[in-house]
């Protein structure tokens, strides 16, 4: 199945495939290392010129989006089933983001599906294998064409982006006086929490839990809600911490808990961020052109957009 899906995805790139530059990473779930090696071998055989592959394969969905945009890549494979559980009997998924770092449009996914109905072969380089344990670059020649695999740090580019968006000095000052608690739920966000929250902002080590990515997410369900992040809720109920955060498996969703266990709905938190946009350095130059939310979420953002005179975009949700 993996080979067929990857071949159909590569073929859907059409004329962009040969000579393309792609990113590859995932949330650390079961089967991810094997899937990455399959993708590397197939990209080599299909004429891709260069891959940026995450060290140990670990890279969050927002970080892959960042890398695609920063280096003007053709797109990227994301190995994740989002907030669904992982393990030998649990879930696995493959997503492909396009040149703008976002999900591919329906025309592209339709092309993948159509090819899946007629595929009769796939291309691969059987003996090719890449060491993902450390940063380095490997160069190959496949059918007379150069093929490069660059194993990159999982966090570097994303951390640099965050520093350009937020005031790290102000956040560091806040963290030095307030107790916070961050739970990565043994998903992809562990390395990001360690680097940004602990190292860059200086939070003490006991501010972070669940920061080792595990193939089965430690036997848990990496969905940051009041049910599956119950341990965070219990810790916040003590009143010791002023803010608690949990992330989902691939790092593109979170849950915020206030002091004494006050739950902040994600659709409310994005509205609060938008209404206070002028406190965020990134928006001080270009401002905000519009805001967006998915269809089934709360309408707090609509109220902010209406009050600010911004365009509001309601987008569909779900797997294509």
Is residue 107 among the annotated active site residues?
Answer: no
What is d(CA 80, CA 84) in angstroms, rounded to the nearest whole number? 9
pLDDT tens-digit readout, 225-236: 999 999 999 999
Q: What percent of the chain has pLDDT over 90?
A: 89
Average pLDDT over residues 291-300: 90
- From 60, 65, 82, 154, active-site residue: 82
* pLDDT surpassing 60 at residue 44: yes
Q: Spell out the residues 6+ positions from residue 154 whose beta carbon is closer than 8 angstroms to its own.
A: 25, 54, 55, 56, 58, 59, 60, 63, 191, 192
Judged against a pLDDT cut of 70, whether residue 319 lies above it is answered with: no
pTM over 0.75: yes
Section 10-16 average pLDDT: 97
User: Confidence band (pLDDT; 50, 70, 90) for 138?
Assistant: very high
Which of 239 and 63 is assigned the larger pLDDT?
Answer: 63
pLDDT score for 148 = 98
For the chain, first and last CA: distance in Å? 17
- pLDDT over 90 (residue 94): yes
Calculate what percentage of the chain has a pLDDT beyond 70.
99
* Distance from C-alpha of 152 to C-alpha of 310, rounded to nearest angstrom: 38
Confidence of residue 266 (pLDDT cuts 50, 70, 90): confident
Residue 113's pLDDT is what? 95
Mean pLDDT, the chain, rounded, equals: 95
- pLDDT computed for residue 159 by the predictor: 98
pLDDT at 317: 74
Start-end of H helices in 186-265: 190-192, 230-237
Question: Alpha-carbon distance 188 to 185, whole Å?
Answer: 9
Distance CA 184, CA 195 (A): 13
Q: How confident is the model at residue 141 (pLDDT cuts 50, 70, 90)?
A: very high
Taking 80 as the threshold, does the pLDDT of residue 91 lie above it?
yes
Confidence (pLDDT) at 139: 97
* Confidence class for position 297, pLDDT limits 50, 70, 90: confident
Question: Average pLDDT, stretch 16-22?
Answer: 97
Which tokens sit at 191?
């390395």
E strand spans, the chain: 21-26, 50-58, 75-79, 94-97, 136-142, 145-152, 180-183, 208-209, 243-247, 254-258, 262-264, 290-294, 311-315
How confident is the model at residue 155, as a pLDDT? 98
Q: Please give the pLDDT value at position 318.
A: 60
pLDDT at 26: 98
Residue range 99-113: mean pLDDT, rounded = 93
Distance CA 155, CA 15 (A): 31
């Amino acid at each position: 199945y993996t080979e067929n899906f990857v071949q159909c995805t590569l073929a859907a790139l059409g004329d962009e495939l040969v000579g393309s530059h792609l990113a590859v990473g995932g949330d650390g779930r079961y089967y991810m290392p094997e899937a990455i090696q399959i993708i590397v071998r197939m990209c080599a055989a299909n004429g891709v010129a260069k891959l940026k592959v995450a060290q140990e394969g670990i890279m969050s969905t927002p970080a892959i989006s960042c890398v695609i945009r920063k280096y003007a890549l053709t797109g990227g494979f994301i190995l994740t089933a989002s907030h669904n559980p992982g393990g030998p009997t649990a879930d696995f998924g493959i997503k492909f983001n396009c040149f703008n770092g976002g999900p591919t449009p329906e025309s592209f996914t339709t092309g993948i599906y159509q090819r899946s109905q007629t595929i009769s072969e796939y291309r691969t380089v059987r003996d090719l294998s890449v060491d993902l344990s450390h940063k380095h670059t490997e160069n190959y020649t496949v059918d007379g064409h150069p093929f490069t695999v660059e194993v990159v740090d999982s966090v570097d580019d994303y951390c640099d982006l965050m520093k350009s968006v937020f005031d790290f000095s102000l956040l560091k000052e806040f963290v030095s006086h307030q107790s916070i608690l961050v739970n990565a739920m043994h998903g992809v966000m562990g390395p990001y929490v360690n680097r940004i929250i602990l190292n860059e902002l200086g939070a003490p080590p006991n501010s972070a839990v669940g920061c080792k990515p595990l193939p089965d997410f430690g036997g848990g369900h990496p969905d940051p809600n009041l049910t599956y992040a119950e341990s965070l809720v219990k810790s916040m109920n003590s009143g010791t911490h002023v803010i608690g955060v949990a992330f989902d498996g691939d790092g593109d969703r979170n849950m915020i808990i206030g002091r004494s266990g006050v739950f902040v709905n994600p659709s409310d938190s994005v509205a609060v961020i938008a209404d206070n946009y002028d406190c965020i350095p990134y928006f001080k130059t270009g401002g905000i052109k519009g805001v967006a939310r998915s269809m089934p979420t709360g309408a707090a953002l609509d109220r902010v957009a209406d009050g600010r005179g911004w365009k509001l975009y309601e987008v569909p949700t779900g797997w294509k």
